[in-house]
Structure 1
Amino acid sequence: MSQISSLHKIHFISIGGSVMHNLAIELHLKGFVITGSDDEIYEPSSSRLAKYELLPAISGWFPEKITADLDAVILGMHARQDNPELAKARELGIKVYSYPEYIFEQSQNKQRVVIAGSHGKTTITSMILHVLKYNNRIFNYLVGAQIEGFDNMVKLSENAPLIIIEGDEYFTSPIDPTPKFMHYQPHIALISGIAWDHFNVFPTWESYVKQFELLADSLPKAGSIIFDETDDMLDVIGQKERTDVVNTPYSAHPSEIVDGKTILITAEQGEIPVLVFGNHNMKNISGARAVCERLGITDEEFYQAIQSFKGASKRLELLGSNDSVNIYRDFAHAPSKVEATTAALKEQFPNRTLVACAELHTFSSLNKAFLKQYRRKLKAADIAVVYYNPLTIEHKRLEPITAEDIREAFKRDDLKIFTDSDELATFLKSFEWTDSNLLLMSSGTFGGLDLKGLAETVLS
């Protein structure tokens, strides 16, 4: 029994974060008294918190919310080091956790599986959860996206013997620069691939790779590392000799595309139709299968379940379609993700014109020094479009970038570049949409573009 399972009063500093609000909801459902603060809360966090009456009445930080009767404070990444509520909690000697530390505390007596990597980790985690649920396993989890069939993104129950955690390499909290995944102390770790990201946190490729090496080196005796052997850097880390740690390399699952549908080719189970596609998803399936095998799921059980997996939210999500046009949105923002998603769609529908739009929205993608990482990443698109908002660059206090900088970075002379979302929408609506697919890639919103409305116009 975890030492803090009797906790009953917890305050969240920065309750609006994607994992933070889900953890707050989960603890509320377990009967804890939950309070929280934040200086900005966006959708869907605000509606979901409001549904459980956990949405702070006023935005901002209020040290008076930190009272001596609190059992703990959970500190989110979005808060700053000088946060007044954090200062008050320290002054009162209240235990302050980051959410990874808290999740570990709650799962000390469980088998811990961590899914890490620069890309694919949300999808692989989602696949594993889908397979376990399909096979009626009892498990806890933490995942970074909404998945069909799961109400919340965090589950913590006493009776589950195992927890599946999507673990990222980003800082744990404003007062702890350790990568989040190091706090979980996994027994099984999967690393899906290493492609430089978080330029603001890891200024060099070497400093970024080092985080994954630390994770692999931290595995206990009888632990297991599962890794994509087609990733050169990862293959070096994965194949390194570690006493009593099992190495399991994987690569893309054999498959074929028949009439725009992907079929897995298996030795024992025959041909298995799946709803996801693209080489990156064939790797994701292999990784998920390797983890499930370690957890005692048979191949028959795995393949039976994976057929109905529709994908995680915003991962090659179909916004709409008709006989000759499909419209997809994808969370892809980092260069490796933009390349993999664009290539997957072109490979799946080789005879359709692919219009691929990428929004530069993150700190890394809008950084002039990082931009060249996007070199030829949109080459699979027939028509390539980039959107960015100069105000976002100002807001992030970055050096201004021009359309010419972007064209040069992407190495594509015919690249169409927009800084106004209305002009982007006009361009897309005026296109001759037959035998074509539209791909919208961003971790943002294309300047508040109504994607559903756009999809309806394009399809009509």
Structure 2
Amino acid sequence: MQNNISRVHFIAIGGSVMHDLALHLTKQGMHVSGSDDEIYDPAKSSLAAHGLLPEQFGWFPEKITKDIDAILLGMHARADNPELKRAKELGLKVYSYPEYIYEQSKDKQRIVIAGSHGKTTITSMILHVLQSIGRDFDYVLGAKTATVEGLVKLTDSPIIVIEGDEYLTSPLDPSPKCLKYQHHIGLISGIAWDHFNVFPTLDDYVRQFELFADASPKGGTLIYCEEDDLATVIGRKERVDVNRIEYKAHPHVVKDGVTYLKTDEGEVKIQLFGYHNMQNISGALEVCTRIGVLTKDFYQAIPSFGGASKRLELVAKNGNTAVFKDFAHAPSKLLATTKAVKQQYPQRQLIACMELHTFSSLNKDFISQYQDTLNDADIGVVYHNPEVSRHKKLEPLTDELIQEAFNRRDLKIFTDSKSLKEFLVGQQWKNSNLLLMSSGNYGGIDLDAFGKSIVENNQ
């Protein structure tokens, strides 16, 4: 790790990865300060606990002084941010989050996991296996996992495993984050159109992954899922001296609601389920093999992997009901997650609930991409808050448009969380499962508490 930076100021410190990096650098002895115009929990509480929560919300150019070694610019900030303007006037070095990670990882072997879905899970699996066998590593994650502490670690470890998001780098740089890390080993899990606000066409979106694949260096490795058409088209393109590795879903069998991997040494019981997770396991295995992990060690470690936070996470269960929550919000994620729960519990009724919360999902020009994504559910439910649409300067969606987009006339649609909760509480929960999918919180519902109440009241 490069150690010539000791004083850092974060513009938009409240972001999920930004605040976690701020905490990490503070623990390493750096002087860290930051600003933001709004900060919510859990970032707010974490920053406060470490003395990093700004005394006032807003932007204060006077905070920017010549003795600051580096500015870290978050995506939430605007290009005309007053603090950023002052930093430029003083000639201070300004890094985006991924640029700073790269700067501190130049001497490491860099492994970057990209794709529209599965990034967090695959990255978490790799870290779990490396932890299990005692390997030293750094990392950048998009969601918390029980395996490691926090979302980022930057030390003198020889390798770093990075979840490579395809979203824009910063207000000053419209290129995707995953390009900034300059990977030695890159993986593309799959490609399905997302981030409509910055990639208005499918071609625009797919192009970002082609750029990522083209950035694979001579002697480097590109790994991709051969069961994904777009990833395969990009992956099979000839690139001089780049190793290409294809993978597909790991052979498996489901018995009494439990998934077992089929291996040369027999069946291996695991906690994860769903066809998409079998693909994720194969992707993680290919990466681990490339960095010297023995196959037998991988299979010894993977049974204890319980998944990443909010990735098909079990909230509560009893003998006849289970409640899951998932970060699924894009169409491909919705389809895969719903199908996974139904296939794992085919004899149970599935009530699948999703929140339209992102710019893409609330946009009438994109919502048709959700066609048939809830068809594996016995009861499909959609929640959206018209105020969120207005805040994003979008025309609120009508019930008819949503039903048409999902291709389900029996779709239940709610615009207030109280009515949604009343509807769900009133359902027949014996021999039924509930799946709650969102990148939001359904207008303030505590999903853990609500899921547990469903299970406890229907023993």
Match for residue 108 of structure 1 among 106, 109, 114:
106
TM-score, normalising length from structure 2?
Answer: 0.98
Match for residue 88 of structure 1 among 76, 86, 89:
86
Alignment size in residue pairs: 456
Q: Which residue of 1 aligns with 2:290?
A: 294
- Give the superposition deviation at 1:25: 0.8
1:108-257 equivalences under 5 Å are 108-158=106-156, 160-257=157-254
Return the alpha-carbon distance in structure 1 between the equivalents of residues 6 and 453 of structure 2.
50
Q: Which residue of 2 aligns with 1:307?
A: 303
Q: Which residue of 2 aligns with 1:53?
A: 51
Return the alpha-carbon distance in structure 2 between the equivalents of residues 409 and 127 of structure 1.
34
Match for residue 379 of structure 1 among 370, 375, 382:
375
Deviations 1:288-314 (A, max 9, x none): 000000010011010100000000000
SS in 2 for 1:329: strand
Return the alpha-carbon distance in structure 2 between the equivalents of residues 62 and 350 of structure 1.
56
Instruction: Provide the aligned C-alpha RMSD in A.
Output: 0.8
Q: Which residue of 2 aligns with 1:15?
A: 13
Matched, 1:326 2:322: yes
- Give the superposition deviation at 1:456: 3.1
Letter of the aligned partner of 1:244 in structure 2?
Answer: D
Q: Which residue of 2 aligns with 1:77?
A: 75
- Give the superposition deviation at 1:149: 3.1
Letter of the aligned partner of 2:83 in structure 1?
Answer: E
* Larger displacement relative to structure 2 (428-437 or 49-58): 49-58
Deviations 1:234-267 (A, max 9, x none): 1111111111100000000000000100000012
* Kept after mapping to 2: 8 A contact 1:18/1:45: yes
- Give the superposition deviation at 1:395: 0.4
- Give the superposition deviation at 1:428: 0.5
* Kept after mapping to 2: 8 A contact 1:429/1:454: no
SS in 1 for 2:85: helix
- Give the superposition deviation at 1:451: 1.9
* Kept after mapping to 2: 8 A contact 1:172/1:178: yes
Return the alpha-carbon distance in structure 1 between the equivalents of residues 287 and 320 of structure 2.
38
Letter of the aligned partner of 2:74 in structure 1?
Answer: G
SS in 2 for 1:307: helix
Match for residue 349 of structure 2 among 332, 349, 353:
353
Letter of the aligned partner of 1:280 in structure 2?
Answer: H
Q: Which residue of 1 aligns with 2:398?
A: 402
Return the alpha-carbon distance in structure 1 between the equivalents of residues 133 and 4 of structure 2.
31
* Kept after mapping to 1: 8 A contact 2:335/2:374: yes
Return the alpha-carbon distance in structure 1 between the equivalents of residues 94 and 178 of structure 2.
18
* Kept after mapping to 1: 8 A contact 2:315/2:452: no
Deviations 1:96-116 (A, max 9, x none): 000101100000010000000
TM-score, normalising length from structure 1?
Answer: 0.98
Q: Which residue of 1 aligns with 2:37?
A: 39
Return the alpha-carbon distance in structure 1 between the equivalents of residues 79 and 446 of structure 2.
36
SS in 2 for 1:28: helix
Q: Which residue of 2 aligns with 1:438?
A: 434
Structure 2: unaligned runs, 5 residues or longer: none
- Give the superposition deviation at 1:452: 2.8
Deviations 1:56-109 (A, max 9, x none): 111111111101100010000000011000000000101000010110000001
Letter of the aligned partner of 1:49 in structure 2?
Answer: L
* Kept after mapping to 1: 8 A contact 2:109/2:160: yes
Q: Which residue of 1 aligns with 2:26?
A: 28
* Larger displacement relative to structure 2 (372-381 or 393-402): 393-402
1:383-394 equivalences under 5 Å are 383-394=379-390
Return the alpha-carbon distance in structure 1 between the equivalents of residues 233 and 311 of structure 2.
29
Return the alpha-carbon distance in structure 2 between the equivalents of residues 444 and 386 of structure 1.
13
SS in 2 for 1:186: coil
Deviations 1:293-350 (A, max 9, x none): 0010011010100000000000011111111000000000000000000000000000
Return the alpha-carbon distance in structure 1 between the equivalents of residues 254 and 448 of structure 2.
28
Deviations 1:154-187 (A, max 9, x none): 00002x1000000111110001111111110000
SS in 1 for 2:373: coil
SS in 2 for 1:253: coil
* Kept after mapping to 2: 8 A contact 1:104/1:184: yes
* Kept after mapping to 2: 8 A contact 1:357/1:387: yes
Structure 1: unaligned runs, 5 residues or longer: none
SS in 2 for 1:119: coil
* Kept after mapping to 2: 8 A contact 1:429/1:457: no
Return the alpha-carbon distance in structure 2 between the equivalents of residues 152 and 46 of structure 1.
15
* Kept after mapping to 1: 8 A contact 2:127/2:147: no
SS in 1 for 2:434: strand
Letter of the aligned partner of 1:255 in structure 2?
Answer: H
Deviations 1:135-160 (A, max 9, x none): 100000000001103221100002x1
* Larger displacement relative to structure 2 (450-459 or 129-138): 450-459
Return the alpha-carbon distance in structure 2 between the equivalents of residues 131 and 413 of structure 1.
45
SS in 1 for 2:304: coil
Letter of the aligned partner of 1:448 in structure 2?
Answer: G
Identity of aligned residues (%): 60
Q: Which residue of 1 aligns with 2:332?
A: 336
Return the alpha-carbon distance in structure 1 between the equivalents of residues 216 and 449 of structure 2.
48
Letter of the aligned partner of 2:420 in structure 1?
Answer: L
Deviations 1:189-215 (A, max 9, x none): 000000000000000100110110011
Match for residue 316 of structure 1 among 295, 312, 316:
312
- Give the superposition deviation at 1:42: 1.1
Return the alpha-carbon distance in structure 2 between the equivalents of residues 441 and 166 of structure 1.
21
Deviations 1:205-229 (A, max 9, x none): 0011011001111111110000000
* Larger displacement relative to structure 2 (49-58 or 99-108): 49-58
Return the alpha-carbon distance in structure 2 between the equivalents of residues 360 and 313 of structure 1.
20
Match for residue 258 of structure 1 among 238, 255, 264:
255
* Larger displacement relative to structure 2 (385-394 or 148-157): 148-157
Return the alpha-carbon distance in structure 2 between the equivalents of residues 280 and 48 of structure 1.
33
